[in-house]
Amino acid sequence: MIVRFLLLLLIAAGFTSVARADDLQPGYLEIREHDAATHQYKITWKAPIRPGLAARVVPIFPSDCTATEPVRSVDATALLARWDIDCGAALAGRSVRLSGMENTPADALLRYQSTNGITQAARLTPANPAAVIMQKADRWQVARTYFVTGVEHILMGYDHLLFVLCLVLLLNGAWRVAATVTAFTIAHSLTLVATTLELISVPGPPVEASIALSIVFLAVEIVKRKPGELRLSERFPWVVAFLFGLLHGFGFAGALAEIGLPQGEVPMALLTFNLGVEAGQLVIVAVAMLVLWALRRVHALYAARAQMVSAYAIGSIAFMWLLQRVLPA
């Protein structure tokens, strides 16, 4: 009964998830200094509709700043607004906040770029919705911000998470799992960097569909394996993980592009984002392997059933995503 309940719960979670499962869904506030002498700035505010940022949150600048009328556009997922502000003094050393963020469950990323090359990236949260604009560069703040963003992305990007879980369910042995996940990490890092640096470009919809298909493939491999008979992904797990990792890297790049990278600190942001993703993956692997180990300690049959139920649930969710991403809305 418990197993059936868990299966239904997982499938229900999949049906309530959006088709694009690796969407980070934070808000994004960009402040670009346009003229340092006259304290003019260009503002971009992207507010996802789903967490409520678009309806409830408004960027607030110092009282001596006057703003032009925002130019707004709306798509299926977010409100985008652009406007200029003219302040009585420089924003450096002063606070910018997101009013109303305290009443939402979402975070927002603030990115500041001055004309003299100072770059700032800060994470605004419901508990701390304000940030002081830096007067000098601080690359470690960029590193912290993008590391946390990487961790959150793998934990909240359900398709990447389910792919890693499938690798754990498919393989035996901690070192074999670790080596395979490392191959996956190397591959998605390559395509993430190449796409971010605009060395290659792949359309988003085919990538999203292929990512869902990669999860379906691994789920089928788990369900169809038999004792004494190795499936393709069991014989060559590193190759399979590497090839599919290349696809997942395009997905990471698409989500990261929506947030943006700080000019002048792109290498640091990319490195720490990747490190954050890897840290999140290690947490997922450790927890999943600990659960399977505990089940085996109780009874080997429990672990086998849990693996099978999980594979069916993950495969069902991924197949639903595949249909959503292939069929027209």
Residue 212's pLDDT is what? Answer: 92
Residue 64's pLDDT is what? Answer: 94
Residue 186's pLDDT is what? Answer: 92
Phi, psi of 201 (to 5 degrees): -145, 130
- Model pTM? 0.69
- Among candidate residues 5, 9, 28, the one with its CA nearest the CA of residue 17: 9
Domain positions in the chain are 2-22+157-326, 27-138
Tell me the mean pLDDT per 10 residues along the chain, length 329.
44 45 70 91 88 78 94 83 94 92 83 80 88 78 83 82 90 86 91 88 87 93 81 86 92 76 77 90 89 83 84 91 81
Residue 8's pLDDT is what? Answer: 44
Q: How far is CA 155 from CA 55, 120, 246, in A?
A: 26, 25, 19
Phi, psi of 234 (to 5 degrees): -85, -35
Q: In the numeric block, which tokens belong to residue 19?
A: 């088709």
User: Scanning the structure block, which residue is given the tokens 């392997």?
Assistant: 289
Q: Which long-range contacts (CB under 8 A, 24 or more apart) does 173-180 make?
A: 174/289, 176/237, 177/285, 177/289, 178/285, 179/237, 179/238, 180/237, 180/238, 180/241
Please name every residue paired with 121 in a beta bridge, in sequence order, or none if there are none: 111
Q: In the numeric block, which tokens belong to residue 310?
A: 């999980």
Strands laid side by side in the 58-60 sheet:
58-60, 95-99, 130-132
22: DSSP letter? T
Residue 84's pLDDT is what? Answer: 96
DSSP 228-245: TB--HHHHSHHHHHHHHH
- Map residue 226 onto helix, strand or coil: strand
